[in-house]
A and B are shown apart, each in its own frame.
Chain A
Amino acid sequence: MSRALRQRLFAAVFIPVISVACGFVVAGVAVVITGSDPLAAFTALFQGAFTNPRAFPETLVAMTPYVFLGLAVALGFRAGLFNIGAEGQFYLGAIFGVLAGNSLPGTPGIIHIPLALAFGMLGGFIWAAVPGLLKARFGAHEVITTIMLNYVAFQLTDFLINKGPMSDPHSTAPRTPFIDPGAQLPILLSGSRLHLGLILAVIAVPIVWFLLERTTIGFRIRTVGFSQGAARAAGISVAWTLVLTMGISGALAGLAGADEILGVSHYMPASFSVGYGFDSIAVALLARSNPWAILPSAFLFGAMRNGAAFMQLQTQVSSDLISIVQAIVIMFVAAPVMVRWIFRLREVPVGGLQITQRETTGVSSET
């Protein structure tokens, strides 16, 4: 095997597999410390994700938003942007999706569904383009601004649906009314919640790949991510590319939110997210920002989220355990130096492992 091929295999297969394995080992230790049986916990996790009745379609349902969100974060990474606010953009997408889904009752689905999804994308686009603009214009670091916008999005949602302008007058719970049946995504498998969104998510993967690898915009995104100085010298507007990248990234996150409304819940409840923002970072990092690799990565995290609910029910082990697995996964993927040190590997697998491709990272002005 040639050296180059070995290095690529190391980066694309060995590190992700080792990362996930180590994640489960550390999580298992945490389970032991809390006085539970890790084997029972992980068995329940597996059953809840795959073997229980209706578990597998439900895993695919859980996977769907992770595909969109993973693509969103990965796209940002490629331009050197750390969009840590996918959660807020997801909320805005959901709010906009509900708005569109509630209006125009009686419109046929073929028009209503694309309209509502596009509206969701618009919501996410706006919510992410603002931090993009603040970064491009003032050098405000996107990590701080997008996280702050998450909290603003939570408050905004609470305001809208908790006895606010979008709340359901017939419900005592803080939530919106159900969206128009015409805007609901069709179910793929009767007796399950598996909806058309999965197909849309799978289609989104080659679209994002094409955008990144085969279009001028994608070229600009990658150039800015590689070196802002080189991009500027080549006549690329760095500011505009940053705003546009954040916007598209947010649009994908918003699409995830609208898709959840249209496909799964059909209304917006008070606690809508299970922590998608941080999950999506793990999905993107595990896939090393490669659009195709987002699919298996999202599948893994969808399975874990789905299985975690059953695990918590069955064994009293908190579903927050999944966060520990995620943190360890990110840590290993981001630290090839550490992986080599732990496993006593000599070879230096450098190429392609740099994740955010940023030039400087100070949480501050970079202009």
Chain B
Amino acid sequence: MSDLLSHLDIAGFIIATLVAATPLVLAGMGGVMSERSGVVNIALEGIMLTSAFAGYAAAVATHNLYLGVVVAIIAGMLIAALHAVLSIQFLVDQIVSGTVINILAIGITGSFYRTYIQNAELSGTGVLPALRLTFLPNAPFVGVITIAALVLIPVVHFVLFRTVFGLRTRACGEHPLAAETAGINVYFVRYMNVILSGALAGLGGAYFTLQQIGNFLPNMTGGRGFIALAAMIFGKWTPIGAFLASLLFAGADALSGRLQISGVNLPYQILGMLPYVLTIVVVAGAVGRAVAPAADGKPFKKRN
């Protein structure tokens, strides 16, 4: 057992967990913003996939990884805007609208991948630089998107709970009619939050291509957008809660990776199930005591 523990390398495990949590916490915070304003966002998966692709394509075209990140964020905002138009303006069932975007993301990235990446045999852009955190033991390297995600947690928390915009957001998510009566433009607030959630998830998408592997693979987000949603629920629709829940899921991910390397006598596929099974358990077990914003998922029809 002690042999196993030394294989696991606790400090390294914590850093690996933090890094693996990056897309989860970013998309999870996106989910928090969107749902706090009353719009369910199961499109996070598709937004991340599209942004991962767009960021990679831009980085290939411009030879600038940071420009790639910017394009990924913009792409995320555009796709999120489509979700906003469908679900806010045209009153489409928000789950259906999110599904449309998830399917669209597969179609767009798949089609363009074949034309621009697979056939052109573009083999990678390299990855964003990692910062060396010298104040930590072993001075680990951590990628800049992970650092950005950690910085954004208090920022999103502040916006949501300490600003007028945040107050209006939560009002629209709890009781849109009351908010409208008080003179708040519910559509505007919801649009802003959904588009901002696209920016956050877009940055999360950039993680996959520009920080993790420096390449694009079809369907590379692998359900992380849905796990982020579970993290949001487990974190009770708060940025900090979503972060802590993301660590749990990412820890399961990192653990399964490490157990495989350390030669534990379990098939890797069984270990690979771990984060997904954990998500199901958490969604089933924790949700009973987590309460969603009251108007979450309900289309709102303007009175005037």
Q: Which residues of A contact B (CB under 8 A)?
A: 27, 30-31, 33-36, 82, 84, 134, 137-141, 143-145, 147-152, 155-156, 158-159, 162, 164, 275, 278, 281-282, 285, 312, 316-328, 330-331, 334-335, 337-338, 341, 355-356, 358, 360-365, 367
A162's nearest neighbour on chain B, judged by CB, is: B269
Residues from chain A with a CB closer than 8 A to the CB of B95 are 82, 143, 356, 358, 361, 363
Task: For the complex, give the distance between the alpha carbons of A159 and B279 in Å.
Answer: 20
Contact B91 A30, beta carbon cutoff 8 Å: no
Minimum CB–CB distance for A367 against chain B, Å: 8
Q: Is B86 an interface residue (CB 8 A)?
A: yes
**Nearest residue, chain A, Cβ from B289:** A365
Q: For A285, list chain B residues within 8 Å (CB).
A: 96
Known: A318-B113, A330-B99, A355-B93. A363 touches B40 (CB 8 A): yes
CB-nearest residue of chain A relative to B85? A338
> Which among B94, B226, B272, B292 is the interface contact of A144 at CB below 8 angstroms?
B226
15 contacts between A and B (CB under 8 A): A34-B116, A134-B280, A138-B288, A143-B95, A148-B226, A152-B276, A320-B109, A320-B114, A321-B107, A327-B101, A361-B93, A361-B297, A363-B292, A363-B297, A365-B292
Min CB gap A83→B, angstroms: 12
Known A317-B114, A324-B107, A355-B96; 5 more pairs at CB < 8 Å: A147-B226, A148-B230, A324-B108, A330-B96, A363-B292
Q: Which of A34, A323, A330, A337 contacts B115 (CB 8 A)?
A: A34
Q: Are B103 and A144 in contact (CB under 8 A)?
A: no
CB pair A356 B110 closer than 8 Å: no
Q: B106 in the interface, Cβ–Cβ < 8 Å? A: yes
Smallest Cβ-Cβ distance to A279: which chain B residue:
B103
The verdict on A34 contacting B111 (CB below 8 Å), with A155-B273, A278-B102, A327-B104 known, is: yes
Among A282, A355, A364, which residue has its beta carbon within 8 angstroms of that of B292? A364
Number of residues from B at the complex interface, CB < 8 A: 60
State how many angstroms separate the Cβ of B292 from the closest Cβ of chain A: 4
User: Are B92 and A334 interface neighbours, CB within 8 A?
Assistant: yes
When chains A and B are docked, how far (Å) is the Cα of A158 from the Cα of B269?
7
Q: Flag if A323 contacts B292 (CB, 8 Å).
A: no
Which label, helix, strand, loop or mixed, suits the secondary structure of the B interface?
helix
> Which of B111, B116, B233 makes the CB contact (< 8 A) with A363?
B233
Is B161 in contact with chain A by the CB < 8 A criterion?
Answer: no
- In the bound complex, CA of A145 to CA of B101 (Å): 19
The answer to whether the Cβ of B157 comes within 8 Å of any Cβ in the partner chain is no
Q: Chain A's nearest CB lies how many Å from the CB of B19?
A: 21
B114-A318 in contact (CB<8A):
yes
> Which single member of A152, A316, A323 contacts B110 (CB below 8 Å)?
A323
On whether A139 and B287 interact (CB within 8 A), knowing A147-B223, A320-B106, A321-B107, the answer reads yes
Shortest distance from the beta carbon of B21 to any chain A beta carbon, whole Å: 18
A363 to B116, CA, bound (A): 36
Assembled-state Cα–Cα distance A144/B99 (Å) = 12
Interface check B284, CB cutoff 8 A: yes
Q: Which 3 A-B pairs have the closest CB atoms?
A: A320-B110, A323-B107, A361-B297
List, in ascending order, chain A residues with CB within 8 A of B114's CB: 312, 316-318, 320
Point out the residue from B92, B102, B272 that lies within 8 Å of A335, measured CB to CB: B92
B183 at the A/B interface (Cβ < 8 Å)?
no
| Residue among B95, B110, B116, B290 having the largest count of chain A Cβ atoms under 10 Å | B95
Q: Does B193 contact A (CB under 8 A)?
A: no
Return B58 CB to nearest CB of chain A, in Å: 15
Across the two chains, which residue of chain A brings its CB closest to B102? A278
Chain B min CB distance to A335 (Å): 4
Complexed CA–CA distance, A335 and B87 (Å)? 9
Name the one of A144, A150, A326 contacting B230, with C-beta atoms under 8 angstroms.
A144
| Residue in B89, B107, B285 whose Cβ sees the most chain A Cβ within 10 Å | B107
Known contacts A323-B104, A338-B90; A362/B40 CB under 8 A = yes
| A364-B287 contact given A148-B276, A152-B276, A334-B96, CB 8 Å threshold | yes
> Separation in Å of the B170 CB from the closest CB of chain A?
15
Report whether B93 and A356 are in contact in the complex, using a CB–CB cutoff of 8 Å: yes
Distance of A137 Cα from B283 Cα, bound (Å): 12
Partner of B107, one of A144, A149, A327, A364: A327
Which chain B residues numbered 209 to 257 have a C-beta less than 8 Å away from chain A?
218, 222-223, 226-227, 229-230, 233
Q: In the complex the two chains form, is B279's CB within 8 Å of A144's CB?
A: yes
The answer to whether the Cβ of B137 comes within 8 Å of any Cβ in the partner chain is: no
